[in-house]
Chain A
Amino acid sequence: MDNEKLSSLVDRMASDFLFLNAREFDIPSAGGLLNVLEDITATADQIQLTPARRVGVAMNHLLEQFIMDKVGDRAAGFELLEGGISLLQEIVHDCLQKAGYEDDGRIDGYLASIGGLTGFRPAETQDATEKAEGAKEEQTPTTTAVSLQEQDEGLLRDFITESFEYIEQIEVNILNLEQNPEDKEFINAIFRPFHSIKGVASFLNLDNIRDISHSLENLLDKARNDELRVSPPIIDVILDGADALKSLIGQVRDVLDGKASAGEADDLTELLDRIHKLDRGVETTPAARLVGEILLEDGMITKDALNAGLKASAEKPGKKLGETLIAEGLATPKQVTRALRKQAEQITDTTTIRVDTRKLDDMIDMVGELVITQSMIEQDIGNQLTTDRNFMRNIAQLFRITSGLQRVTTSLRMIPIKQSFQRMSRLIRDLAKDSGKLIAVELVGEDTEIDRNMVDEIYTPLVHLVRNAVDHGLETPAERLAAGKTEKGRIVLKAYHRGGNIVIEIADDGRGLNREKILQKAIRNNLIHDGEGLSDQEIYRMILLPGLSTAERVTDVSGRGVGMDVVKQAVDKLRGKIDIFSSPGVGTTFTTSFPLTMAIIDGMIVKVGSQRYILPTTAIRQALRPARESFTNVVGRGETIDAMGRLLPLVRLGELFNIETRHKAPWEAIVVVVEGDGRTKGLMVDEILGKAEVVIKSLGEGIKNVRGIAGGAILGDGQIGLIIDPEGLFALSESSS
């Protein structure tokens, strides 16, 4: 395996060398050879192929001499290089074929001839293994200083200036790369300066600089070859690396200027470790996280427990962390297997690709247009009475494909809710620690999918509910024991699909809601007069009303006076629903239900004058043509309509939006009873055109946030209809009247 790698490296060097000649042998090409040679030496070291390593080290020296222009007889030196390469080829070939190279003294001869040319002492190479091993840690200021004195000052000065420029380039491009992790251009733009720094640092014997840039260069090379995905840790480590290089080069400059006696060097081990870890980690298990990390993230174990496990695992080599954790009783076998499964899933994640959401949106838009065009074609065909069977068959096929395509594109945005659940379970753990409660978290249905954009939207209300459950729902261990329950409370996060919605349940096995307390508080806050005829459900729902927090004390977790009404508002905004089930002493379950996507809205298309608007179906209570008697115009207060047994304020949509309407009298028009923001109003429109599921689109950055308008939707005829935002509309009607 490594023999082959070595062989291919030698071959590469040989083929690189073929294109060179003695006269044109300049620094860049020497640098290139030097890079390969380094790899060869390192590999030879690894597989303990001493002959190859010895030749490699000698050639390395020769090349360095070339670069520093210290080779008197360039032609002879060039010949020596050639000899060295063929010697290497021979050694490697013999190793592959004959399982061993028989040293017949040619290596010594070769080394001697290099020594003859450059004063190279082969004795130095004897302890090269140790030196290479220790090279990374051994960087002491003294070596820097010593080596600096040996360098040509002019060369160094140039290097410093150049390097700073390179680092600047790196910094600029790394920010770009962070925005576009897939962009090879940016990776290259960072790779090249590192490479250049490494090359020069290498022959200037600035080993620590070389090591860092070399490691980073390798990392980037892998990213460039798609062996590694550019992830935030990688970005971080590159930035840190650039910083380290800057300070190292700064030190070199200071030494040159005689400013500082090259004092303490930064500890680069940690950085190099990180780089190598990233580098290696990817090589073995691409993008996979460690079992311990997964467990920690999922809130299965604490950091302390993990550390203990890691320690234990280190003591008993050959035993895996998971096994150790189970053996030590730090985690259950179930948790470990789950974590292992997740790890496996992550590895299979390599079959996914990351796509810019804008591209995705474009595609969804296009498919939307395709569907519209399809329905237009459908109409045309209906009008034409075509009987060409072949044509009809193909068209039917096209329609099937189109609707399939539409299904697929809508599902493209869908991701499992897993991530949110994990974040919440971590949160619960942290909260539990803070509040001194013992809580087990159970996640059910983490694979339930939801629109990518919804994930962030629902997070806030869910977090609020979770906090509420931890803070108010669950009792302290002492209380639990007193109540005859297990010491450890339980919170279940459950997700499933139901009727085009995603339902997320947050259940605790705590004390349950206090019906009486809610009732009292509601009466105290003048929300109701008495609890007569109210069902438990209705009373529980009252906690969602503003200014009703049942917590006795205000904690930093929840109950900061804003209460559950915030949750209700957020859920409403997402066109979701919230239900509360509770029984005293047994626990409380909050069942929230959200549309799978914010991108699609179920709406009623209404017409006002020549304009069409879409009213969200969730906001519509009723549509009616009012009787003449039900309309009253209270002078100075506005118009009302008697509907659903109540006097509702009448909002003339046409008047509000300054549109010439067809009907002036409410009893000729249609009144849609719309609910929003806890208020109900009658919206007067000319006619109702029908129901439609439409894709919500923003009106563009130029005119977002139009009051009363939630966005636009492309209707069946390709025209845009504006989607009414009932709350905004109500606010608008109140401010204008």
Chain B
Amino acid sequence: MTLNQKLLLGSGASASLILFGGITGYLAAGGYLTDVIGKDAVMSILVLGTALGVALALGIGLMVSRSISGAIKRAVGGLADSTTQVSAASSQVASASQSLAEGASAAAAAIEETSSSLEEMSSTTKKALDNSTFMTKTGDITFALMKSSHRSLRETDACMKRIGESGAEAAKIIKTSDEIAFQINLLALNAAVEAARAGEAGAGFAVVAEEVRNLAMRSAEAARNTESIIGEMTREIKEGMALVAKTLEEFYKMGDEGKKTNALIKEIDSVMEQQAQGIEQINRAIAEIDRITQQSAANAEETASAAEELSAQAAQMESLVTGIDSIIGGGVGGVLTVRL
């Protein structure tokens, strides 16, 4: 059993004896006496009980503390020493921490600056990348469009050819109908000849023959007109077909160039992407650095403040030690004083 424990036991036992006495008294008196003699009488009993208890406790305590104060005196002296040492050390720590915190702070500021520059760069790169991606996409779309327009062109060409063929077919039909008209014309003329030979009897028939001939002529005329129109059409179709062929040829050239452009754009795009990725990595690294720096600064700060706290505590301890020393009676005060 240590001193303090003995102390504590002693004081505690005394206190608890006092308390016990008091309480027992109180309780006994309070409950029982209230019933027997009245309240005022109980109160007066209580105060007399307490005062008796305290006086008993103090007496016991004084005897216990006279027994342990020597040991304490020796402990306080050691304490005063180490407190002094702690105080010195903590002052050193505090100052070092202070300068550390200051450095970290400066680094953090620099990193901040870098980071923001990087941020800016990253966003530009991103924008460039976005553009290049868009361009690639546009290139693809262009290519797809080119393909489809090529198809359309091819179809146009085929269509033109078909129209041309139909035109030729129509021309053939027109030729046939012209031929038929010619034959009808001949027939009508023959009919007119026959009618004329029939004399008066053929007069009516001659009129019919003439009508038929007129119709044949008109039909031939119509056929001729149609023929010329079809001829014109055929010619224009031919022209159109030539144009389509030319366009196709140019289109093929354009397609080739487009393909090249597209490839280049893709290349650029991929380079840009790599670049963006690099920047991103840098960004992330800087952020890490920044974080660490911040943490260091915070740590330094904390250390400094802890050191100061420590030094403050040391000072307080010194004073406490002095206090104790004075309580116990000297010897150590000097130390404390030196220390403080």
A–B interface present (Cβ within 8 A): no
